Amino acid sequence: MEKRILGLDPGLATVGFGAIACNKYTKKYIDFGVIQTSAKEEIGQRLCTIYEDLHTLIDTIKPHLVATEKLFFYKMGNTIFVAQARGVLMLVLAQRKLPLIEFTPAQIKLALTGYGNAQKYDVQQAVARELNLQTIPKPDDAADALAVALAAWFQR
């Protein structure tokens, strides 16, 4: 039976998404990209954009499971905005009754490269290799979201 996993890389300016379809033995990418908000808009409107676009994305992808990276930042200023966007993501998932699994950055790196301190480029190469893509997915937020989805599949 095919299972669809939606990976999300939360952010206020950019929410990366990556969706894969998999069964017990194989996996393939369905779609990847970003939900973007404009810095010219007030924060409430930006959060509404994420809310609405994520509902549309879920309607399109029809995931069985959603995976995301746990909130982990060094700069406090960015953390607050990402936490607000992440709250919107969690609200939408709860409304849609979708199961959520979370991974630390080290868990994602370990799952894809075998090394928890791998460099971003190494993870991106692993994403391309695992999904038989000719190039590394762009932008980086989308590649990160695919990495999260793959980590969820590897955990099965």
2 is an active site residue: no
- List 2, 42, 52, 141, catalytic entry: 141
At 25, is the pLDDT very low, low, confident or very high (cuts 50, 70, 90)? Answer: confident
9 is an active site residue: yes
pLDDT at 137: 94
- Who contacts 65 (Cβ-Cβ below 8 Å, separation ≥6)? 3, 4, 5, 6, 98, 99, 100, 101, 152
User: What is the per-residue pLDDT across 101-153, written as a single tens digit (0 to 9) for each?
Assistant: 999 999 999 999 999 999 999 999 999 999 999 999 999 999 999 999 999 99
pTM of the complete model = 0.94
42 is an active site residue: no
- List 53, 69, 140, 144, catalytic entry: 69
CA dihedral (119, 66, 107, 16) in degrees, to 10, reads 20
Residue 80 has a CB neighbour count (10 Å cut-off) of 12
Both tokens assigned to 88: 């919107």
pLDDT at 74: 55
pLDDT at 156: 73
pLDDT at 140: 95
- List 9, 42, 52, 144, catalytic entry: 9
